[in-house]
Amino acid sequence: MARDLTPPVSLTVEGLIERWYLFGKRVLRIAATAASIGMIFAMPKIASGKYQIVPSNSPQGAGATFQAGASVTDLVVDDRVKSALDWLTKNTAWITNEQIEITEIPAPPFKEMERAAYLKKALAALGLRVRTDEVGNVIGELSGTSDKEIILITAHMDTVFPEGTDVRVRRERDLLYAPGISDNGAGLAALLGVARAMQESKIRNRRTVIFAADVGEEGEGNLRGIRKLVEQYGTKLSAVIALDGASTEYVVTQALASRRIEIALTGPGGHSWSDFGAPNPIDAMARGISRFLKTIELPGSPRTTFNIGEIEGGGSVNSIPSRAAIKVDIRSEQERDISRVESALRDAIRAGVQEEMAASNTSGMATADRPGIEMQLRLLGARPGGDLAAGSPLLQSVMDADRFLGNRSRTERSSTDANVPMSEGIPAISIGGGGNASGAHTLGEWYDRAGREMGLKRVLLTLLSAAGVEK
């Protein structure tokens, strides 16, 4: 997960509860009026990705409504739910062992296959109907009494670390150290733990639940895994829960839009001595980056960021390079500001090229028969923005779980697998699998199991509230 979060939203969950309580009273009055004239409402998804109100006897309204399956207060008195919660309490060690096993299987960008094979076997061992789709997602189906409504709970398999990274887990006191141990070893372990808890306790879910381990969430993966899952299940999706990392202190309800681009400069190259003064793509890129950093102005609101994350070029110390390239990540709470920053970056790099060509002309090395520097731009990926509607039953589900467990959380904006369903108008959140962690996307990443039990129960109760439990 790309964890560049905006500052925490100051409104607490308790404050939100009071607002939604008042909002709920108004909704109930409206519903009572509608019922008096014989009209019951549903909210099916339409092409725009939004929702509309239609009578329940309309064919368009069939099987497309998101309603909380049951309140958490009702769920926790069910003996099967009690059994599932108890199983999580007693089996956190098994879940931690699964986390270690998963983390020690390399899953660099676009190479999640070995980890996928392990997770496919693990989900099948839990009695789920398991398959792998054409992009590499592992999909385990737990059928409900309704196959027209689906709750998707997913965790990404890939990491940001390149092939060859040492991913062996090191224990130091109560901490586990390894690249990817939390992001997303914690999320994947929670996926398995919750699936097993449901199976062990023989819970009968009303809506069908899809447990998925998806590909391509990190870096240039461009959310290709979750895009495919949303495409496959389409209007059947009632809600999406993305498990990402460990934290229980937040719930992601706003999708942070981003764009990743590559700018490459190419030139004639040459020998460092005999061709000195020839246009140098690295020099041109350096001039352009310097200009951009000096002139770019970012708004305080909406929050907008950029990161020049990779720079490359050249083949040897005594050769004028024929190519230089940068990869840049741009994010904003408003997509229009992403375009503004990208435009400023392109203009600055072009100005850098012009400065370099002018210097080459002065030295007499830029001639009509000698090529200059050319610039190419390539889009690496674009993540859509979106928001979970205020008062969403899905958010109410996780809030109810927090209240029951005594957990305090806040809403946040981030870039996760939830971006895609949110952008399509599908209710979606991203939450952590429990525990504490730090150092995501670094070789020093660590995970602390303290708090894991509560996080797992939070995931389970949110899922069951969304899916519903049959008597």
| CB atoms near residue 256 (< 10 Å) | 24
Q: What's residue 69's pLDDT?
A: 57
In this prediction, residues 114-139 reach a mean pLDDT of 98
pLDDT digits (tens, 9 = 90+) for 349-372: 999 999 999 999 876 666 556 679
Strands 237-243 and 250-255: what pairing? unpaired
pLDDT in tens, 265-324: 999 999 999 999 999 999 999 999 999 999 999 988 999 999 999 999 999 999 999 999
What per-residue confidence (pLDDT) applies to 369? 60
Which among 199, 273, 248 has a CA at the least distance from the CA of 431? 248
Residue 406's pLDDT band (cuts 50, 70, 90): very high
Q: Return the CATH class of domain 257-383.
A: alpha beta
Whole-number pLDDT of residue 42: 31
Looking at residue 467, its amino acid is: A
pLDDT band at 60 (very low <50, low <70, confident <90, very high): very low
Q: What residue segments make up the domains of the chain, in order of their start? A: 40-253+386-467, 257-383
Whether residue 45 is predicted with pLDDT greater than 90 in this model: the reply is: no
**Which CATH code fits 40-253+386-467?**
3.40.630.10
- Do 257-383 and 40-253+386-467 have the same topology in CATH? no
pLDDT for 471: 83
Mean pLDDT of 395-411: 96
User: Which of the four pLDDT bands, split at 50, 70 and 90, describes residue 49?
Assistant: very low
Q: pLDDT tens for residues 131-184?
A: 999 999 999 999 999 889 999 999 999 999 999 999 999 999 999 999 999 999
Q: In this predicted model, what pLDDT tens digit does every residue of 203-250 receive, in sequence order?
A: 999 999 999 999 999 989 999 999 999 999 999 999 999 999 999 999
